[in-house]
Amino acid sequence: MRIARLLAVFFFLATSSTLLAATKAIKFGKLVDGTGRVFTNAVVIVEDDRVQRVTSGNASIPSGAEVIDLSRYTGIPGLIDAHTHMTYYWDGITTPRTELPRHPAVTVVLAQENARKALEAGVTTIRNLNAVDGTDLAMRDLINMGKMIGPRMFVSGLGVRITRSTAPPVPIGIMADGVDAVIHAVRQVIASGADWVKMYGSTGGFDDLTQFQTFTFEEMKAAVDATHALGKKIAIHSYGPSGARDAVRAGADSLEHATDMDDQTIAEMVKRKTYYAPTIDHNQYYVENADNVYRFPPGTKERLLGYIQRNFETAKKAFQAGVHIIVGSDAVYNGWGLNMRELDWLVKIGMTPAQALKAATTEPAAMLGMEKSLGAVAPGFYADIVAVEGDPLANISAVSNRDNVRWVMKAGLVVVDKTKGTGKTN
Ligand SMILES: [Zn+2]
């Protein structure tokens, strides 16, 4: 009897301490909170999945809170990568894009590796733009259920394309031609459960650097209107200037990649507040992997380098004009984990490190309509917090170089902890 009562007490203590552990007090040497404030000797109080308060100095810590001492590091908000391809998984053996087709369930399981690499780069939220067979929808839902570990996902399902041959076979989307077909495709995508619509407004991708406009202005306008009518948002891909011009005029919520944009299009983007993901680093990644991984034809690297230069100049012009620029890695295959290298380019186009950090936090959070819960370490926000080595406001490599990411919390749960190890990833 006595033992039973003792056991009951122990059981109570054990369960109550588990409950109390839902309160965490995280100490940082410095905290860049994402709203423009910087705290020294910060203490972030996290209650379940949300930030309860942020203080500095000798703030009182709630009794029973689990104290996590990261005072050697700088805290920043969880990072947002606004353009990814989570389900593009490579086995490291064959050549990407020529692997045999996999069952969608196999892809979902394998792609967890991409999800883990994203978290290790400090990415706690992504916008995923194009995936086949509902694999992105499945991952989003499994992650939201807590059954799979990975960044929070906003997904587009199948991208909408014009009818054209694609060789070699790559994950393709819904083919639609003409206004009626486009409206139907957009509604299908949204009915499938997508958060966003992705439209391919031009050719271009991988080693294909052509910039031919695909959908007409009327088709883009129909897609935008059909998307907005259902309360969703649309991202339009364009490698070239004419697709970009029409995408912006049609009212796209974000424009992906676009190079060689004219001044009027850039001015229109400022006026309409069209978000722009230049995805510059993405082609740098292809240059680095052109021979050994992709086996691109001779001359591809030179063309990629030329494209990067024009992409860079366009992004610089857009930034100077006041366009809302966001970090999009366009991560595919073994590019996962390099997600935040785009920040280095944003600093090169003239952003301060603080501005670049916004392009991976508050700006994409606003684009996603999540400005009250993502992109900042502030009361009421999701407890998405990253600890980095170094001072990102002095040198953005504290964030862009994944080796400096030491610890990651997503919605109150620690998902990466390299505070004791070397911090090196594969
Ligand atoms: Zn892409």
Q: How far is the CA of 293 from the centre of ligand 1 (A)?
A: 18
Q: Kind and range of the H or E element at 309?
A: helix 300-321
As a whole number of angstroms, the distance between CA 195 and CA 136 comes to 11
Query: What pLDDT is recorded for position 23?
Result: 96
β strands within 292-417, DSSP E: 385-388, 405-410, 413-417
| 353 close to 392: Cβ distance less than 8 angstroms | yes
Residue among 138, 141, 143, 136 at smallest CA distance from 159: 136
The two three-digit tokens of residue 177, written as one number:
């031609």
What's the gap in Å between 367 CA and the centre of ligand 1?
17
pLDDT of the residue at 16: 42
- Distance from the alpha carbon of residue 85 to the mean position of ligand 1, in angstroms: 6
- Burial status of residue 359 (CB atoms within 10 A of its CB: 0-12, 13-18, 19 or more): buried
Q: What residues form DSSP beta bridges with 234? A: 197
CA 155 to chain centre: 11
For residue 347, the CA-to-ligand 1 centroid distance in Å is 22
pLDDT of amino acid 3 = 52
CA of 103 from ligand 1 middle (Å) equals 22
Q: Tell me how far the alpha carbon of residue 291 is from its chain's centroid.
A: 27
Strand order in the sheet with 160-161: 174-175, 160-161, 196-200, 233-238, 254-257, 275-277
257 C-alpha to center of ligand 1: Å? Answer: 8
Q: How far is the CA of 376 from the centre of ligand 1 (A)?
A: 26
Could you tell me the distance, in angstroms and rounded to a whole number, from the CA of residue 217 to the centre of ligand 1? Answer: 21
Cα 99 to middle of ligand 1, angstroms = 19
- Cα(123) to centroid of ligand 1, in Å? 17
Find the 390 Cα to ligand 1 centroid distance in Å. 31
Tens digit of pLDDT per residue, the chain (426 long)? Answer: 455 554 444 444 444 444 445 999 999 999 999 999 999 999 999 999 999 999 998 778 999 999 999 999 999 999 999 999 999 999 999 889 887 889 999 999 999 999 999 999 999 999 999 999 999 999 999 999 999 999 999 999 999 999 987 655 555 789 999 999 999 999 999 999 999 999 999 999 999 999 999 999 999 999 999 999 999 999 999 999 999 999 999 999 999 999 999 999 999 999 999 999 999 999 999 999 999 999 999 999 999 999 999 999 999 999 999 999 999 999 999 999 999 999 999 999 999 999 999 999 999 999 999 999 999 999 999 999 999 999 999 999 999 999 999 999 999 999 999 998 654 444
Compute, in angstroms, the gap from residue 387 CA to the centroid of ligand 1.
28
Burial zone of 418 (CB within 10 Å; 0-12 exposed, 13-18 middle, 19+ buried): middle
Is 240:204 a contact under the CB 8 Å cutoff?
A: yes
Ligand 1 center to 426 CA (angstroms): 24
Q: Give the Å distance between the CA of 240 and the centre of ligand 1.
A: 14
Tell me what pLDDT residue 79 has.
99
Instruction: Identify the DSSP state of 168.
Output: S
CA 185 / ligand 1 centre spacing (Å): 19
Whole-number Å distance, alpha carbon 384 to ligand 1 midpoint, is 25
The pLDDT score that the predictor gives to residue 312 is 98
Ligand 1 centroid to Cα of residue 128, in Å, is 8
What number of other Cβ atoms are within 10 A of residue 230's Cβ? 13
Cα(141) to centroid(ligand 1), Å = 21
CB 200 within 8 A of CB 163: no
